[in-house]
Structure 1
Amino acid sequence: MLNAKNISVHYGRQRILFDVGFRAEAGALTAIVGPNGSGKSTLLKAITGEITYDGAVNLNGRDINGRKPWELAAMRAVLPQATPLAFPFTVAEVVRLGLTSGVSAADDGLVPQALQRVGLASYGTRFYQELSGGEQQRVQLARVLAQVWEPIAHCVPRWLFLDEPVSSLDIGHQLLVMQIARDFADAGGGVVAVMHDLNLTAMFSDQVALISDGVIIAQDAPEHVLTDDHLSHAYRCHLRVNAIPPAGTYLLPHLAQLAS
């Protein structure tokens, strides 16, 4: 279980998070949603130990501040919004970095498996900088998957922390990535994902935390959080859940699924 209590974050004199409480269960996909600048990514960086915070974060029963870096790397992998690389690494070399961070360094066979999982099986020898933004995003997902390939290790759940994992992807690859996250959770691992797409959030999440102005205003099952009142309050505009516009073309991706 992930349990964060009284998380506050300051950037200089500006306070970004205000005594936030957040929880996530292994075996579940928990989404963090909210408007731009609400504190979503800041909360993710706090619970992964990337930034300084006040409060306490417990992962699998222990405070993350009491764990060595290699212990955390063996237990959880973090996918940031962007991962620029200055050197001409091949795709396979980028994915292999996940093995050096995790506990499967001897199993180089995970590299092609991870690339196949994200739909890039033939990309191993290509240079990372030659890829599109969406392809680079999937390479980085393959890297973090290689780091925590088995969702449960020695009876202890592992975790994926994903910051806007589908932001650069077309709808087909969005579904692919979300299904990967869903499968990881269904196999016993924990997934925490910062999301913008509320339809994908509703489709794939078990729990949703809605954050606004540095405060979580609701955390529960999607049907209890993604409501007219909650969303209108958080996004400061009138929203109706599942309302179809009276004219024009409108896609409802909640019925979309990957082609077999």
Structure 2
Amino acid sequence: MIKAQGVSVSLGRKIILDCVDVIAIPGSVTSIVGPNGSGKTTLLRALTGDLAYTGRVTLNGLDIKSLKPWELAGLRAVLPQASALAFPFSVIEIVHIGLQRGVSGQCDAVALAALAKVGLDGYASRNYQELSGGEQQRVQLARVLAQVWTPLDGNTPRWLFLDEPVSALDIAHQLQVMKLARDFADQGGGVVAVMHDLNLTAMFSDHMILMSQGAVQAVGPVADVLTNSHMSKAYGCTLKVNRTPNPKTPFILPQVAKA
């Protein structure tokens, strides 16, 4: 599991995260939601060890501050909000970056299979810079999938950390990406994702961490967190949570939001 205890992050005198305690378990999709500036990405980056913090974060029982970069890379892969490249790379070369840092080595079969999973079969020789923003985002997802290609290493889970993985995608590819995350968790891996789309969060997540002003406002199963009171308080507007014909799946209609 991933466990954060008393995690705080400050930028100068400004507190970005204030003594946060959270847990994410393998076999589940855990989504971090909340308004802009609530600390979602900062929490994700602290959990991955990509940002300095105080407190303690353990990954599969290991303090991440004690792990070498290559050890972390074998346990978890991170998809950031955006990835800027200064040099022209082919698509397959981008995916191979994940293989080099991860557990599969220089395995073309894994790289090509990862591209196929994200709907980019046949794109291997394309120039990355010539792709659309959504296509580039899916190439980066293929990179992180290749890095932790098998969700379980014996009994040890691997982890996907995804920061707004569907932000630049159309609805069909949003569903495809979320299905990939769901499948990774169903095979025993762990997924922690920063999400803005509350309806996709409700459809694919097991647990939700609701952030507000650098602190956790609510945490638990989606149905317990995605409520009128929690959502309205966190987002600062009146929101009504509805139910689909499947009563276990809540959803929000933006048309009824009142500032």
Whether the 8 Å CA contact 2:74–2:147 is kept in 1: the answer is yes
Per the TM alignment, residue 109 of structure 1 is displaced from its structure 2 partner at its CA by 1.0
1:47-73: CA deviation from partner (whole Å, max 9, x where unpaired) = 111111010000001100111111100
Per the TM alignment, residue 253 of structure 1 is displaced from its structure 2 partner at its CA by 9.8
Per the TM alignment, residue 12 of structure 1 is displaced from its structure 2 partner at its CA by 1.3
Partner of 1:216: 216
Alignment pair present for 1:172 and 2:157 = no
Partner of 1:33: 33
Partner of 1:127: 127
Q: Which one-letter code corresponds to 2:199 in the other structure?
A: N
Partner of 1:235: 235
Partner of 1:46: 46
Moved over 3 A (4+): none
Partner of 2:256: none
Per the TM alignment, residue 108 of structure 1 is displaced from its structure 2 partner at its CA by 2.1
How many residues align structurally? 247
Residues 253 and 139 (structure 1), Cα distance of their counterparts in 2 relative to 1, 3 Å cut = farther
- TM (norm. structure 1) is 0.93
Whether the 8 Å CA contact 2:25–2:190 is kept in 1: the answer is yes
Q: Which one-letter code corresponds to 1:133 in the other structure?
A: G
Structure 2: gaps spanning 5 or more residues: 245-250, 254-259
Structure 1: gaps spanning 5 or more residues: 245-251, 255-260
Q: What SS is found at the alignment partner of 2:241?
A: coil
Alignment pair present for 1:77 and 2:77 = yes
Q: What SS is found at the alignment partner of 1:35?
A: coil
Q: Which residues in structure 2 correspond to 1:194-209 (within 5 Å)?
A: 194-209=194-209
1:63-111: CA deviation from partner (whole Å, max 9, x where unpaired) = 0011111110000000000001110000000001000001211422111
Q: What SS is found at the alignment partner of 1:242?
A: strand
Partner of 1:13: 13
- TM (norm. structure 2) is 0.93
Q: In the aligned structure 1, how far is the partner of 2:165 from the partner of 2:52? A: 23
Alignment pair present for 1:110 and 2:110 = yes
Q: What SS is found at the alignment partner of 1:217?
A: strand
Identity within the alignment, %? 61
Q: In the aligned structure 2, how far is the partner of 1:221 from the partner of 1:15? A: 27
Partner of 1:247: none
Whether the 8 Å CA contact 2:152–2:188 is kept in 1: the answer is yes
Partner of 1:94: 94
Q: What SS is found at the alignment partner of 1:4?
A: strand
CA RMSD of superposed structures (Å): 1.5
Partner of 1:193: 193
